[in-house]
Amino acid sequence: MSWGPATAGRRPRAVRAWVSRLAFGVARSALALPLLPPDASAAPRARLGLEVSLKPPPGMRSRSLQHPWEGRLARGMLVKESEYIRYVDEYRRKGHFYGTWELVQLLERAARRVAFRLPGSKLSIGELSRREGGPIGGHRSHESGRDVDIGFYMTLPDGRPYYTYSFADFDHRGRGLRPNGYLRFDDARNWELVAKLVADGDARVQYIFVGSDLKARLLREGARRGAPRAVLERAKAVLMQPAHGHPHRNHFHVRIYCAPADQGQCRDRAPFWPWYPGTPPGGQYSRITSPFAGLADP
């Protein structure tokens, strides 16, 4: 397989100006970072994985309209390939890589974070939405720019990161199904991804669909790595295997809630987790259970 270069054309002037302002902003905040204490020197790269907080330039404000299964996207933003992000080749030709501004920024932040913590990582992006949203072949949702399919981080048996042409299925032991028995589910990188997605302060995640066996693996990995209880709790709530349809043993499907600025035109339905960015109908949040219940399951 080949990754190929990013296909983005020349950017319009306003966007170029915005990008250079962004680059300057990042450089400036990097300079303003406090000096690291000596004992933190082992992880300077992780600390430089800056949480970039951006505001879109005027005219680039995306809008997610109605529901993910019957909706539209206005001024959708393209996820671009980069040092940290690749498209899954199978989906490259159709080019359904548009999402809301919030979702695209979330993916950028998550990809950077995993790559800073575990160098050599590339986030594998499947489909998001069409530029204008609406129905899209092979999906029952993905219509309003708030859904994205993400391929798992995977490795060869010797631990080297590996990328495939399409999504690959894994069993409960984290081994690739035939004919991909040589593949390994990368517990560490996939956990870091989930941890960042659920802890993000700007884009709030409602669901991460994934097979139950892989969910159990991820929570065990999080506990093993000493993840904060709140992160484990969120992960336990949002990671789920859908009751019907695709079992999600070969990719994550991530959905974010409507951005506060879109509420009114954009519609959410339960569950409304305590991190929902607004007030749920009736003021009732969904309950979450102990993150540690069930962690000992094989």
Q: Is the dihedral of CA 137, 141, 145, 148 positive or negative?
A: negative
Q: Alpha helices, DSSP H only, in the chain?
A: 13-31, 44-47, 101-117, 187-199, 212-224, 229-238
Site string for Zn ion, 24-53 (x = CB under 5 A): ------------------------------
Question: Given the complex with Zn ion, which of 86 and 255 has the nearer CB atom?
Answer: 255
Question: Given the complex with Zn ion, which of 149 and 233 has the nearer CB atom?
Answer: 149
Near Zn ion in 202-241, by CB under 5 A: none
Q: For Zn ion, which stretch binds (CB under 5 A), given 10-18, 149-157, 232-240, 276-284?
A: 149-157
> Across 28-101, where does the E strand assignment appear?
63-67, 70-74, 77-78, 85-87, 98-99
Question: Given the complex with Zn ion, which of 117 and 139 has the nearer CB atom?
Answer: 139
CB of 14 vs Zn ion, minimal distance in Å: 32
CB of 148 vs Zn ion, minimal distance in Å: 7
CB of 135 vs Zn ion, minimal distance in Å: 13
Question: Given the complex with Zn ion, which of 155 and 164 has the nearer CB atom?
Answer: 164
The count of chain residues that interact with Zn ion, using the rule CB under 5 A, is 2
CB of 82 vs Zn ion, minimal distance in Å: 22
Distances (CA, A) of 248 to 32, 115, 150, 217, 251: 42, 24, 10, 14, 6
Binding of Zn ion at residue 143 (CB under 5 A)? Answer: no
Q: In the set 149, 187, 192, 268, which binds Zn ion (CB under 5 A)? A: 149
Q: For Zn ion, which stretch binds (CB under 5 A), given 57-65, 84-92, 110-118, 144-152?
A: 144-152
Burial of 280 (0-12, 13-18, 19+ CB in 10 A): middle
| b/e burial code for range 13-37 (CB count within 10 A of at least 16 → b) | eeeeebeeeeeeeeeeeeeeeeeee
Question: Given the complex with Zn ion, which of 122 and 248 has the nearer CB atom?
Answer: 248
Question: Contact at 8 Å (CB) between 146 and 136?
Answer: no
Q: Read off the tokens for 90.
A: 């199978």
- Distance between CA atoms of residues 217 and 214, nearest Å: 5
Distances (CA, A) of 109 to 62, 67, 138, 181, 191: 18, 25, 27, 31, 15
- Is beta strand 205-209 parallel, antiparallel or unpaired with respect to 251-256? antiparallel
Q: Read off the tokens for 208.
A: 């991460």
CB of 142 vs Zn ion, minimal distance in Å: 6
CB of 99 vs Zn ion, minimal distance in Å: 12
Residue nearest to Zn ion (CB): 253
Question: Given the complex with Zn ion, which of 149 and 213 has the nearer CB atom?
Answer: 149
Site string for Zn ion, 241-270 (x = CB under 5 A): ------------x-----------------
Where does this chain bind Zn ion (CB under 5 A)? 149, 253
